[in-house]
Amino acid sequence: MPPAVPPIVLLGAQRFDPTLGAAAAAVGIDGKIATITAGWQEREGDDADLHEHLQKLTINLKLYERADKVWKADPELREAHRARQERMRLKQDFYRIRLEHELDAAHVIEQRKAPADILEEERAASVQAIRDLDTFHLGTCVREKEAWTERWKPLERDAVKRERDEIIGLLEGTAAVAIAGGHVATLLNRLELFGMDELLKGRPILAWSAGAMAISERVVLFHDSPPQGPGAAEVLDRGLCLVADVVPLPAPELRLRLDDTERVTRLARRFAPALSIALPATAHVTWNGLAFVRPHKIQRLREDGSVDRLGWPDSPTTESSEMDAAEIVG
């Protein structure tokens, strides 16, 4: 038997109808929970509702506040980080320009009339072109950050090391870590600054909204109907890679047109073989180290444009055992 792997639970939004406590209990988490609310930025400390919901057993790691302390104590690192972020923004802009053209071409090809075999071949070519662009951009992000880390070695600098040592002390004796949503780029930057990928490995994790996105292998921004016009999903960055083979899509009720077969197909095929999983409010699913199991009100996007509802009252999933084939999301 393989060794037991601490569960990682991905959840939908928790603001209005929180299910975090129930999800924690369902996977056997009992005790103090360290919380990360850095995505809330200046409102990081406004966690009274979260604290109450988790039976007043939370300890906020305050990564956003700690980063501010680092910037004040180490202005050289602050300026280096600011310059890196500006480079990343420029890279994102150029990627977005190319991506919009590839997506436009894919849409035009989708509307053309042709024999089925030719049309399918051209559709596949369009998806592959988008995938290649995503891969190139993700590689660029990784190289930029690795070069910056090699030059500045943030975890060896006194200001960062001092805060990180305190974080390590706070994590001792906690049963799990809960990572909230908010601004995903801000959250990811703070997680990376303190080397949280290393500190979170081997720990039970509950992550929702932007938190779920940040711990995946790649952070994908998406909105099918933004106020400024038609939206396009775009790869923002590499995540912490604590869960594999999944693209979390929080708040689909606000951001995705799941009745649009063309959009669903393109999104699912673009990121396959990773699962594209929509996480509406109250939804959750558990990563056990090998697969996603125990889905509750999630939506899995299929490459044929359909959407599976898993763990809903009208779906065939069961509650019998963690590894019951009916409960595996795949």
- What is the 3 state secondary structure string of 141-171? HHHHHHHHHHHHCHHHCHHHHHHHHHHHHHH
Distance (Å, rounded) from C-alpha 165 to C-alpha 171? 10
Q: Is the dihedral of CA 25, 29, 35, 37 positive or negative?
A: negative
SS3 116: helix
In a domain, 80, yes or no: no
What CATH number has the domain bearing residue 199?
3.40.50.880
Q: How many domains does the chain have?
A: 1
In a domain, 84, yes or no: no
CA distances from 10 to 58, 110, 150, 167, 207 (A): 18, 33, 31, 23, 5
In a domain, 205, yes or no: yes
SS3 99: helix
In a domain, 318, yes or no: yes
In a domain, 251, yes or no: yes
User: Which helix (H) or strand (E) is 8 found in, with range?
Assistant: strand 8-11
Q: Which amino acid is at 255?
A: R
In a domain, 223, yes or no: yes
pTM flag (> 0.85): yes
Domain boundaries, position 305: 8-74+163-327
In a domain, 130, yes or no: no
Instruction: Quote the tokens at residue 151.
Output: 């030059």
In a domain, 114, yes or no: no
If 0-12 CB within 10 Å is exposed, 13-18 middle and 19+ buried, where does residue 108 land?
exposed
How would you write the pLDDT of the chain (330 residues) with one tens digit per residue? 445 689 999 999 998 889 999 999 999 999 999 999 999 999 999 999 999 999 999 999 999 999 999 999 999 999 999 999 999 999 999 999 999 999 999 989 988 999 999 999 999 999 999 999 999 999 999 999 999 999 999 999 999 999 999 999 999 999 999 999 999 999 999 999 999 999 999 999 999 999 999 999 999 999 987 766 567 899 999 999 999 999 999 999 999 999 999 899 999 999 999 999 999 999 999 999 999 999 999 999 999 999 999 999 876 544 433 334 346 676
